[in-house]
């Protein structure tokens, strides 16, 4: 794939830049698309994703909003129902709680409540995750909560390709799509095909093939999991790494194909363990692939504490490569 | 009171079949006595006891296959046996041996009335044998291939039987129910064990290989002089010299004598040299010659003869199977010039001796015919490096220059 990209030309870019280009591309391609949220205009976005876009596209397309998540999310829902294609930026998942009523009670239910007379083709982007020492109130990973809700789709782009490509596909969806961008990913850099474009949003991806154990993850934990897989390979354990990409709906087929091959699964999820997305994935494996299993399914989740502020405690509270390695070995009986 | 347990006779052994008891309840045994014969993939092994005392009870019936660690018999150790004469062994009420209690000591826990409901303490292991843990995938495969899970030993988490364990078992030849249980060599099972050990070795151990040609003319001269005075049965072979030289060198170079376990190298103070012995029909075993560096050449030779004879008859002792700290493999007269061995885990080195060949060799500036042997080392690169390996091989070569000092 890399060679192919080289032939077609690649650019050195960052995750942040890839998201920005995705927004630019959407605004230029479709006149119904606009971005709105707190500080997305003059300030350029809390994570500098929309820097320069106000100057390029003007205040009609890049709209600063008051500090009222419920209000502007509701405005986005209304605009979508009326025919526009809004991208609402909720800054972080922590503040999305103030818009939860709009997302859960309105966006997710309108098609059902209106007897299919209205849909909400809305995209809501937000940052998620811990790791930046933002303390207990600003370090949540609640994408698993949102994945609980019928009527919406939930995406977790972890790579440059997905940061660049998921937005356009999400905007084509007739129903609300939530995109969760892990805060630790904005600064990752790499090569992206110069002509990178839309990608599917309904398939999980095998990021590293292996035969001994399936490590199933998404978002910010993908890179820690790949690091763990490299370390495991040095000890002769070939781990297969699955990037879920879409948390709702889940791509059961890719998960079950992998687990059927490796017969062992460990799920890595930055959410808290109890009632986590990891629990859902594990239960689906039990429902659909029980007879293929060789070991209890393992989970590496966040510790069940408010995320601490001190760096060493924050690091200890969320999934890290050594825990993933230990869980993979336990699944192989090599603890 | 101690349990005499099914020993682990090598890293790849998971279970053994008890085929013969050489003691009965009431017999006195001392440390080192052979008390039972266990059949494993390596053949029938005579099992020694580490305890001195009186056999109180036999816990496993003949011809049952039990996992490593299962208590086979109960031995009342010397002190206990004197304190309390033999009591009938009752599994329901194991006798409590306690030192003379002080007068004020509270009585042992009074017998409590049997609880109506089972106590909610799943953490406490029940006395009954635990049910076989078998993974869903393994259970399904076992059904499909008609493998009895009871005959499979598990390698998964908590000793659970995995898919691969069942697949391995299914690939083994099914023992016929009429199979003779007397000590025999099951060459197919031995081949399976060799396959497992060698595959594990090549999978886990980063081998490096060194070779060194050594003039052993001095050894040959010394042997012919020494043997001239000996009856044929007591004559020394060059294999005794190479074994002794290797043992002495291994004692000086601890990086080649020990075990690599759990990502850690444990050098061994004692030198127990595993002697690779070919078995007619295609088997191979490498039982240990204990403390080979301490033995005189005559003792070493007679021990080697005994070991070869017993191995080929299928009677190896338990300590001989698991104790080797380094292995020596020699092809002898029917061999070839050079052989490179595969390390037997968890050991970290194997020394190979090729056939002795007469070669043109430069001695004191002149070319002449000399007897030359190629010594090789396969060693574990996690533990040692080529430099140390070269010194080790060179040391063996030096020792062979003065056979009278071996």
* Residue-level pLDDT at A169: 98
Cα torsion B183, B187, B190, B192 to 10°: value is -140
Does residue A191 register a pLDDT over 60? yes
Whether A89 sits among the annotated catalytic residues: the reply is no
> Are residues A48 and A131 located together in one domain of the fold?
yes
How far is it, in rounded angstroms, from Cα A268 to Cα B396? 53
* Residue-level pLDDT at A319: 98
Which of these, A309, A313, A222, lies nearest to A270 by C-alpha position? A222
For an interface test with A, give the residue of B138, B157, B164 to mutate (most A CBs within 10 A): B157
Q: Which domain holds residue B341?
A: 208-405
Chain B residue numbers touching A296 (CB-CB < 8 A): 157
Paired strand residues for A189:
A14
Catalytic residue among A17, A69, A181, A240: A69
Strand A123-128, strand A85-92: pairing: parallel
State the total domains in chain A.
2
* SS3 annotation, chain A: CHHHHHHHCEEEEEHHHHHHHHHHHHHHHCCCEEEEECCCCCCCCCCCCCCCHHHHHCCCCEEECCCCHHHHHHHHHHHHHCCCEEEEEEEEHHHHHHHHHHHHHHHCCHHHHCCCCCCCCCEEEEEECCCCCCCCCCCCCCHHHHCCCCCCEEECCCCHHHHHHHHHHHHCCCCCEEEEEECCCCCCEEEEECCCCCCCCCCCEEEECCCCEEEEECCCHHHHHHHHHHHHHHCCCCEEEEECCEEECCCHHHHHHHHHHHCCEEEEEEEECCCCHHHHHHHHHHHHHHHHCCCCCEEEEECCCCCCCCHHHHHHHCCCHHHHHHHHHHHCCCC
**Locate tokens 């009429």: which residue?**
B178
* Residue-level pLDDT at B23: 84
Domain with residue B236: its CATH number is 3.30.559.10
How far is it, in rounded angstroms, from Cα A257 to Cα A324? 21
Read off the tokens for A281: 């994935």
How far is it, in rounded angstroms, from Cα B22 to Cα B36? 5
The winner for highest mean pLDDT among B4-18, B58-72, B124-138 is B58-72
Which of these, A130, A57, A334, lies nearest to B164 by C-alpha position? A334
Interface of chain A toward chain B, CB-CB under 8 angstroms: 236, 263, 290-296, 330-333, 335
Look at residues B83, B103, B120 and tell me which one is the last residue of a structural domain: B83
CB of B306 less than 8 A from some CB of A: no
Strands, E assignment, B218-271: 258-261, 264-267
CB neighbour list of residue A81: distance below 8 Å, 6 or more residues apart: A110, A118, A119, A120
> Are residues A221 and A117 located together in one domain of the fold?
no
Q: Decide if A333 and B156 are in contact by the 8 Å CB cutoff.
A: yes
Residues, chain B: 406
Is residue A115 left, alpha or beta, with left meaning phi > 0 and alpha meaning psi from -120 to 50? left
* Residue-level pLDDT at B28: 83
What ipTM score was computed for the predicted complex, to two decimals?
0.75
> Are residues A60 and A154 located together in one domain of the fold?
yes
CB-based burial of residue B53 (10 Å sphere; 0-12 exposed, 13-18 middle, 19+ buried)? buried
Indicate the range of A127-136, A257-266, B316-325 predicted with least confidence.
B316-325
Paired strand residues for B371:
B358
Question: Does residue B277 sit in helix, strand or coil?
Answer: strand
> Are residues A34 and A161 located together in one domain of the fold?
yes
> Are residues B77 and B219 located together in one domain of the fold?
no
CB neighbour list of residue A92: distance below 8 Å, 6 or more residues apart: A46, A126, A127, A128, A138, A140, A183
pLDDT digits (tens, 9 = 90+) for A47-72: 999 999 999 999 999 999 999 999 99
How far is it, in rounded angstroms, from Cα A182 to Cα A128? 5
Q: Decide if B136 and A293 are in contact by the 8 Å CB cutoff.
A: yes
Q: Which residue of B has its CA nearest to A327?
A: B157
> Are residues A283 and A312 located together in one domain of the fold?
yes
* Residue-level pLDDT at B122: 39
Give the CA diameter of chain A. Answer: 59
* DSSP tag of B256: G
In a domain, A198, yes or no: no
CB of A178 closer than 8 Å to CB of A93: no
Q: What is the pTM of this model?
A: 0.55
* Residue-level pLDDT at B58: 83
Look at residues B49, B83, B117 and tell me which one is the last residue of a structural domain: B83
For an interface test with B, give the residue of A294, A296, A326, A335 to mutate (most B CBs within 10 A): A294
How far is B163 from chain A, CA to nearest CA, in Å? Answer: 6
> Are residues B248 and B393 located together in one domain of the fold?
yes
CB pairs under 8 A between A and B: 43
Which of these, A137, A80, A87, A85, lies nearest to A106 by C-alpha position? A80
> Are residues A90 and A137 located together in one domain of the fold?
yes
Confidence bin at B9 (pLDDT 50/70/90): confident
* Nearest-10 crossing angle of helices B136-145, B163-171: 20
Indicate the range of A29-33, A36-40, B173-177, B350-354 predicted with least confidence.
B173-177
How far is it, in rounded angstroms, from Cα B151 to Cα B147? 8
Domain with residue B74: its CATH number is 2.40.50.100
Indicate the range of A125-139, B61-75, B202-216, B238-252 predicted with least confidence.
B61-75
In a domain, A200, yes or no: no
> Are residues A177 and A306 located together in one domain of the fold?
no
> Are residues A145 and A242 located together in one domain of the fold?
no
> Are residues A36 and A178 located together in one domain of the fold?
yes
Read off the tokens for B207: 């081998």
Q: Decide if A333 and B135 are in contact by the 8 Å CB cutoff.
A: no
Q: Decide if A293 and B162 are in contact by the 8 Å CB cutoff.
A: no
> Are residues A233 and A130 located together in one domain of the fold?
no
In a domain, A199, yes or no: no
* Residue-level pLDDT at A43: 96
Which of these, B38, B58, B64, lies nearest to B151 by C-alpha position? B64
Give the CA distances from residue B158 to residues A224, A237, A291, B161, in Å, rounded to whole numbers and listed in that order. 27, 19, 19, 9
Q: Which residue of A has its CA nearest to B158?
A: A333
In a domain, A55, yes or no: yes
Which long-range contacts link A45-49 to residues 24+ away (Cβ below 8 Å)? A45/A89, A46/A91, A46/A92, A46/A127, A47/A16, A47/A127, A47/A181, A47/A183, A47/A186, A48/A16, A48/A186, A49/A16, A49/A19, A49/A20, A49/A23, A49/A89, A49/A186
How far is it, in rounded angstroms, from Cα A193 to Cα B363? 69
pLDDT digits (tens, 9 = 90+) for B235-267: 888 999 999 999 999 999 999 999 999 899 999
* Residue-level pLDDT at B3: 84
CB of A125 closer than 8 Å to CB of A88: yes
Which of these, A150, A114, A95, A132, lies nearest to A270 by C-alpha position? A132
pLDDT digits (tens, 9 = 90+) for B344-381: 999 999 999 999 999 999 988 999 999 999 999 999 99
In a domain, A160, yes or no: yes
Domain with residue A237: its CATH number is 3.40.50.920
Chain A residue numbers touching B205 (CB-CB < 8 A): none
For residue B137, give the nearest of A294, A330, A335 by CB distance.
A294
Backbone dihedral angles phi then psi of residue A20, each to the nearest 5 degrees: -60, -45
**What DSSP element (H or E) covers B304?**
helix B297-312
**CA A188 to the chain's CA centroid:** 15
CB neighbour list of residue A294: distance below 8 Å, 6 or more residues apart: A263, A264, B135, B136, B137, B138, B156, B160, B162, B163, B164
> Are residues A62 and A174 located together in one domain of the fold?
yes
Residues, chain A: 335
For residue A236, give the nearest of B158, B159, B203 by CB distance.
B203
Does residue B36 register a pLDDT over 70? yes
Confidence bin at B130 (pLDDT 50/70/90): low
pLDDT digits (tens, 9 = 90+) for A152-179: 999 999 999 999 999 999 999 999 999 9
In a domain, B326, yes or no: yes
How far is it, in rounded angstroms, from Cα A235 to Cα A240? 14
* SS3 annotation, A63-100: EECCCCHHHHHHHHHHHHHCCCEEEEEEEEHHHHHHHH
In a domain, A217, yes or no: yes
**Locate tokens 């990913």: which residue?**
A185
State the total domains in chain B.
2
* Residue-level pLDDT at B273: 95
In a domain, B284, yes or no: yes
Paired strand residues for B209:
B378
In a domain, A60, yes or no: yes
Which of these, A241, A272, A247, lies nearest to A259 by C-alpha position? A241
> Are residues B246 and B390 located together in one domain of the fold?
yes
* DSSP tag of B157: G
Confidence bin at B234 (pLDDT 50/70/90): confident
Look at residues A128, A163, A193 and tell me which one is the last residue of a structural domain: A193
**Locate tokens 């890290």: which residue?**
A320
Q: Which domain holds residue A172?
A: 2-193
CB of B262 less than 8 A from some CB of A: no
pLDDT digits (tens, 9 = 90+) for B317-344: 877 888 899 999 988 777 889 999 999 9
What does R_g of chain B's alpha carbons equal in angstroms?
Answer: 26
> Are residues A165 and A55 located together in one domain of the fold?
yes
Look at residues A135, A170, A193 and tell me which one is the last residue of a structural domain: A193
Catalytic residue among A17, A38, A89, A138: A138
Look at residues A193, A228, A255 and tell me which one is the last residue of a structural domain: A193
Look at residues B65, B83, B101 and tell me which one is the last residue of a structural domain: B83
CB of B138 less than 8 A from some CB of A: yes
**Locate tokens 């090569």: which residue?**
A191
In a domain, B8, yes or no: yes
Helices (H), B155-237: 163-171, 187-204, 217-228
How far is A144 from chain B, CA to nearest CA, in Å? Answer: 28
Whether A69 sits among the annotated catalytic residues: the reply is yes
């Amino acid at each position: 794939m890399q060679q192919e990209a080289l032939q077609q030309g690649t650019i050195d870019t960052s995750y942040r830049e890839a998201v920005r280009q995705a927004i630019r591309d959407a605004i230029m391609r479709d006149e119904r698309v606009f971005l709105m949220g707190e500080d997305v205009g003059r300030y350029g976005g809390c994570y500098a994703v929309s820097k320069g876009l106000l100057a390029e596209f003007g205040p009609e397309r890049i709209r600063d909003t008051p500090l009222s998540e419920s209000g502007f999310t509701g405005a986005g829902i209304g605009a979508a129902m009326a025919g526009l294609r809004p991208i609402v930026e909720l800054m972080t998942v922590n503040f999305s709680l103030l818009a939860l009523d709009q997302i859960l009670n309105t966006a997710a239910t309108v098609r059902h409540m209106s007897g299919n007379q209205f849909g909400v083709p809305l995209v809501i982007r937000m940052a998620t995750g811990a790791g930046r020492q933002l303390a207990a109130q600003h370090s949540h990973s609640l994408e698993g909560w949102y994945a609980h809700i019928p009527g919406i789709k939930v995406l977790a782009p972890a790579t440059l390709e997905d940061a660049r490509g998921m937005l356009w596909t999400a905007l084509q969806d007739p129903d609300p799509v939530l995109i969760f961008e892990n805060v630790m990913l904005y600064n990752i850099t790499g090569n992206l095909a110069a002509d990178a474009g839309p990608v599917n949003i309904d398939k999980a991806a095998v990021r590293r093939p292996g035969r001994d154990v399936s490590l199933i993850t998404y978002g910010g934990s993908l890179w820690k999991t790949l690091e763990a897989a490299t370390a495991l390979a040095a000890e002769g354990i070939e781990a297969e790494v699955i990037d879920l990409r879409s948390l709702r709906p889940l791509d059961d087929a890719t998960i079950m194909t992998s687990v059927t091959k490796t017969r062992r699964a460990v799920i890595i999820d930055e959410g808290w363990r109890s009632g986590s997305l990891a629990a859902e994935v594990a239960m689906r494996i039990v429902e659909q692939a029980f007879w293929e299993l060789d070991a209890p399914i393992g989970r590496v989740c966040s510790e069940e504490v408010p995320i601490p502020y001190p760096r060493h405690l924050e690091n200890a509270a969320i999934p890290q490569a050594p825990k993933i390695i230990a869980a993979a070995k336990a699944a192989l009986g090599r603890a | 009171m101690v349990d005499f347990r099914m020993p682990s006779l090598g890293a790849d052994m998971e279970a053994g079949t008890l085929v013969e008891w050489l003691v009965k309840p009431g017999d006195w045994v001392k440390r080192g006595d052979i008390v039972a014969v266990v059949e494993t993939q390596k053949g029938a092994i005579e099992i020694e006891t580490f305890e001195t005392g009186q056999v109180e009870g036999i816990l496993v019936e003949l011809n049952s296959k039990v996992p490593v660690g299962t208590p086979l018999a109960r031995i009342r150790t010397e002190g206990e046996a004197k304190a309390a004469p033999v009591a009938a062994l009752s599994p329901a009420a194991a006798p409590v041996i306690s030192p003379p209690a002080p007068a004020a000591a509270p009585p042992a826990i009074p017998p409590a009335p049997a609880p109506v409901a089972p106590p909610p303490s799943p953490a406490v292991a029940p006395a009954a044998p635990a049910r076989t843990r078998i993974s869903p995938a393994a259970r399904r495969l076992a059904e499909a291939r008609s493998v009895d899970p009871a005959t499979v030993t598990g390698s998964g988490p908590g000793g659970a039987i995995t898919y691969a364990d069942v697949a391995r078992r299914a690939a083994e030849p099914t023992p016929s129910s009429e199979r003779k249980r007397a000590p025999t060599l099951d060459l197919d099972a031995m081949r399976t064990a060799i396959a497992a050990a060698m595959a594990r070795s090549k999978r886990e151990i980063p081998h490096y290989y060194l070779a060194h040609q050594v003039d052993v003319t001095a050894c040959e001269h010394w042997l012919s002089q020494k043997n001239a005075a000996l009856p044929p049965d007591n004559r020394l072979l060059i294999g005794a010299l190479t074994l002794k030289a290797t043992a002495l060198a291994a004692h000086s170079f601890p990086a080649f004598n020990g075990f690599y376990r759990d990502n850690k190298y444990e050098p061994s103070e004692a030198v127990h040299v595993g002697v690779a012995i070919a078995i007619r029909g295609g088997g191979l075993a490498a039982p240990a010659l204990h403390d080979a560096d301490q033995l005189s050449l005559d003792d070493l030779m007679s021990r080697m003869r005994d070991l070869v004879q017993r191995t080929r008859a299928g009677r190896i002792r338990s300590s001989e199977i698991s104790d080797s700290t380094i292995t020596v493999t020699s092809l002898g007269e029917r061999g070839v010039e050079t052989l490179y061995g595969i390390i037997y885990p968890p050991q970290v080195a194997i020394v190979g001796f090729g056939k002795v060949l007469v070669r043109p060799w430069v001695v004191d500036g002149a070319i002449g015919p000399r007897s030359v042997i190629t010594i090789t080392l396969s060693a574990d690169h996690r533990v040692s490096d080529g430099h140390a390996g070269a010194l080790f091989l060179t040391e063996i070569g030096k020792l062979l220059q003065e056979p009278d000092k071996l």
